[in-house]
Amino acid sequence: MSAPAAPAREAVTDPPPRPSPVQGDGTSGRSRLRARWRRARLPLGLLLATAVVVLSVALLPAPSSIVPYAIDNAGPDGARAVAEILRDQGVDVVATTSSAEAAAAPAGTTLAIAPGLPLTPDERGDLADAGADLVLLDAGADLVSRATDGAVGSAYANAPRTTREARCDDADASAAGTATLGGSGLVSDDPDAVLCFPGAADEGAGYAVVRSGDRTVRVLSSADVVSNGALLDAGDAALALRALGHHDRLLWYVPDGGAPAAGTDAGLLPPWVGVVGLELLLVLVVVAIWRGRRTGRLVTEDLPVVVRASETTRGRGRLYRAGGSRGHAAAGLRALTAQRLAERLGVPRTADAGALVDAVARAAELSPDHVVHLLYGPPPTDDQALLLLAHELDILESEVHPL
């Protein structure tokens, strides 16, 4: 008489395990602050250096400009020396790049017009009608003709700069004696115009003086007479200082000298913006090279910390729980249980699910339907059902012994 079949075991429901305490990462508030400071000190140092450079450039005045014949240009082609000497002699020397301001120069002052960007016909007319005494430095033929009411014109010859003698009765030219002049010479048929420093043949004169009422117009064929590099040549300094120093106020006009083209807003920016922009661009390139991605061979390094397998398992479980992935978690539990049971019972990996179910049912003395429900059943619908399935799989695995 065969022994009665063992009754199917009812699933035992155990209370869910208590979560283990979260393990710390071994750091403190002080150590984290130190690490953050180590990471941030180089970028902060670069930013601080950039700020210091920007403030230095913004607060310190520019030592010299590069505009030719400007009175703040200390280079060979500037006119800073003559301006400083005139200031030492009590002349108020003021620079401007505005044609409207230059044209508004009143009588009793001197307006010097240095070479610069081309003037429009309206600007030439306004400057020629200015009430101040004019000193034209290498001016165009149209401006010279307008300012002198046609008394003085320009010769076609572009003569080289040579040392010339005054040879006229003008007091300023006579005091200078000699001067190095060239360029387009000056000519005149007007008996009221005084021509000085004549050149050879058809080269024309280098200096002209025309007096009309209370205003005097002085024309120099070459602006190099007032430049820093040529001021000490011959009698250039005497001629320049006497021609420019007849009044207590001198307005020095360089037509749009270094100014932006009309219709742009760049004139609203301070002159150091370009330098600061280039420095910021250089800093940006350095930071890009420092922080940029580099393509090269992979470099292996040790992990900063060792993570225990239990912590990884708990972390993955929390992710499953946060995402509500009960079916995915149950499938993982069932797959691992089936793999261990197959290894324990000697079921090959190529065997189908039926072979594994039959082997497990015989070893655990359970019905095949119960084994199918545990290993291949539907996914749990809530956390309680998932905990119950994990507990039942653990019991199943503990009751299966090698055949």
Q: What is the pLDDT of residues 32-91, one digit of tens each?
A: 778 778 877 887 887 888 788 777 766 666 566 788 899 888 888 889 999 999 999 999
Report the interhelical angle of 326-345 vs 309-323 (nearest 10°): 140
Quickly state the pLDDT bin for 19 (edges 50, 70, 90): very low
Rounded CA separation 12/399 (Å): 14
Assign a CATH topology to domain 80-257: Rossmann fold (3.40.50)
Q: Across the strands, what pairs with 113?
A: 136, 253
pLDDT at site 216: 92
Place of tokens 């979560």: 19
227 Cβ contact partners less than 8 Å away, ≥ 6 residues apart: 69, 76, 77, 78, 79
DSSP character for 224? Answer: G
DSSP character for 157? Answer: E
CB 172 within 8 A of CB 241: no
Range of weakest confidence among 5-19, 83-97, 124-138: 5-19
Of residues 24 and 196, more confidently modeled: 196
Nearest CA to 102 out of 250, 221, 318 is that of: 250
What mean pLDDT, rounded, does the chain reach? 81
- Going by DSSP bridges, is the β-strand pair 215-220/193-198 parallel, antiparallel, or unpaired? unpaired
Quickly state the pLDDT bin for 286 (edges 50, 70, 90): confident
pLDDT at site 294: 64
Cβ neighbour number for residue 10 with a 10 Å cutoff:
6
| CA angle, 210 then 212 then 216, to 5° | 55
Distance of CA 335 to the CA centre of its chain: 58
Rounded CA separation 86/10 (Å): 115
- Going by DSSP bridges, is the β-strand pair 153-165/178-187 parallel, antiparallel, or unpaired? antiparallel
The average pLDDT across 16-44 equals 63
Rounded CA separation 315/63 (Å): 65
pLDDT at site 247: 93
Rounded CA separation 223/112 (Å): 11
Spans of all domains in the chain: 39-62+271-285, 80-257, 322-399
pLDDT digits (tens, 9 = 90+) for 309-368: 788 878 887 888 888 888 888 888 898 988 888 888 888 888 888 888 898 888 888 899
Where is mean pLDDT largest: 269-278, 281-290, 369-378? 369-378
CB 200 within 8 A of CB 180: no
CB 174 within 8 A of CB 168: yes
pLDDT at site 138: 87
pLDDT digits (tens, 9 = 90+) for 192-249: 899 999 988 778 888 999 998 889 999 998 888 999 988 888 888 999 999 999 999 9
State the alpha helices, DSSP H only, in 262-325.
Answer: 273-291, 309-323
With a cut of 80, say whether residue 370 has pLDDT above it: yes
With a cut of 50, say whether residue 5 has pLDDT above it: no
Task: State the pTM of this model.
Answer: 0.53
pLDDT at site 271: 62
